[in-house]
Amino acid sequence: MKRSGSKFAVISIFVTTLLSSVIGGFATLDARNSDLNRIDQALNTVVSRVNTYPEEAISAAILTVEEESLDLTLSLVTQEGVETIINESHLIYPGMTDLGLVRKGLPGAISVEAASPYRFRSVSIAGGDFLVVASSLDQLNQNFKSNLRNLGLFTTVADALAIFFSIYFLRRHNRGLDAQALERMQKFLGDASHELRTPLTVIKGYNEMLSKGQFTEFADQARAFSRVNSEIERMESLIHDLLLLAELGESKPVDFQEVDFDELVMAHVNDFTVLNKERDVKTSIPNDCTVNGSREHLNRLIQNCLSNIVRHTPASAPVAISLKTLGKRAELIIEDGGPGLPESAYGTEIKTMNRFDPSRSRESGGSGLGLSIIAAIVQEHKGALKLSKSKLGGLAISIEIPV
């Protein structure tokens, strides 16, 4: 038991550190790249102005440097390699060592490691000479190091909180935890780690490529940042669903109250109909259907049922929603005309992290825990859940809740 508790704490710290490092590292690199883009924009502005006014190249360059908010160094390099500083900045500028380095800056900005690192661009002017415009990277590097220190501090605090909450929840949970429950928790953690691995791998890959400057075009960088952001959102959705499942799995009693189930269902149906105008939505929802339960969790139950339809069925697939009272139980049936589940899934017990078709949620961006959350909420209300083939051709979810 103690060994399992220690393992849980280690996994919690590992996941916390990994998430903090990946997300924080991405944010830090994003800030550095933004600063670098700002420098490149200033250098490119000077070069563009010189190319626009080639007859007055030096005057145009001086005027543009003075207009820029960044502190820039401007120099003239003759075709013989003699350099003259035209505008000085706080940069400790070592000068161009040879014309080969000057020519490297013609296509675009490049960074030079020196006692005072800098980034420069060059542009050819009349007579075979060159103008070189440079900006110091000292402030950029200082900001980057400061952000890394802040990231380290944040990760340390996050790990401390992870240890605290791991100990707190383990102590509470271990009071009534038997061997079977512990085995389920270990499987849950293993599955959660597996589900997080895919988006983390994608983020790590793009993070490495961005940090190595493999994306030179702005459009490619934008696409990379967009891809990383989508994976972060996917992780956030997964973590949110994992926390809800953990909450539903706790043994503490939930304050139930009388809930107007028909009004709750109808509110979600109205929203669903408005947002899915292409669907033929048929409803049969009588008045005065009251159940005893958690309004918040029942809201999430209906939301997940309808969200699954949006994610996994064509936009024009028909939907049928009915509610009726059977003795002391209310039965909610939600059907769709989508592809449904594999035949082997109907009648299968829904377990935590269960995915009947693993590709469905990954392709649609979902966490894959929708049916698991539905099953947990139904179990919390001492109800019954059944999955079957719908007469519309897709999936029929039948939910019974005590009234």
DSSP 161-192: HHHHHHHHHHHHHHTS--HHHHHHHHHHHHHH
Q: What order of strands is seen across the sheet that includes strand 72-77?
A: 83-87, 72-77, 130-136, 118-124, 110-112
Q: CA 378, CA 331: separation in Å to the nearest integer?
A: 12
pLDDT digits (tens, 9 = 90+) for 178-233: 565 566 666 666 666 666 777 777 778 877 787 777 777 777 777 878 887 877 77
Structure tokens at 125: 């002017």
Burial class for 260, CB neighbours closer than 10 Å (0-12, 13-18, 19+): middle
CB 163 within 8 A of CB 9: yes
pLDDT category of residue 173 using cuts at 50, 70 and 90: low
In the numeric block, which tokens belong to residue 151?
Answer: 């990231």
Express as a percent the part of the chain with pLDDT over 70: 79
Q: What is the pLDDT of residue 10?
A: 67
pLDDT at 252 exceeding the cut of 80: no
Q: How far is Cα 330 from Cα 384, in angstroms, rounded to an integer? A: 10
**Given a cut of 90, is residue 49 above it in pLDDT?**
yes
Structure tokens at 217: 């075009």
Instruction: Pick the more confident residue, 368 or 218.
Output: 218
Give yes or no for a contact between 192 and 356, defined as CB atoms under 8 angstroms apart.
no
Distance of alpha carbon 190 from alpha carbon 73, whole angstroms = 56
Arithmetic mean of pLDDT, 60-81: 91
Q: What integer is the mean pLDDT of 231-239?
A: 75
Q: At what angle do helices 2-52 and 218-249 cross, to 10 degrees?
A: 160
Q: Determine the Cα–Cα distance for residues 388 and 340; give it in Å rounded to an integer.
A: 9
List, for residues 311-325, the tens digit of each pLDDT value.
889 999 999 999 999
| Better-scored residue on pLDDT, 341 or 365 | 341
| pTM given for the model | 0.47
Please tell me what DSSP assigns to residue 284.
E
- What average pLDDT does the segment 40-62 reach? 92
Judge whether residue 345 has pLDDT over 90.
no
Distances (CA, A) of 312 to 252, 361, 397: 34, 8, 14
| Domains of the chain: residue spans and CATH | 257-402 (3.30.565.10)
pLDDT digits (tens, 9 = 90+) for 125-145: 988 899 999 999 988 888 888
Q: State the CB neighbour count (10 A cutoff) for residue 350.
A: 17
Length of the chain: 403
pLDDT for position 269? 93
* pLDDT bracket for residue 281 (50, 70, 90): very high
Which residue bears the tokens 């490119």?
44
Judge whether residue 353 has pLDDT over 60. Answer: no
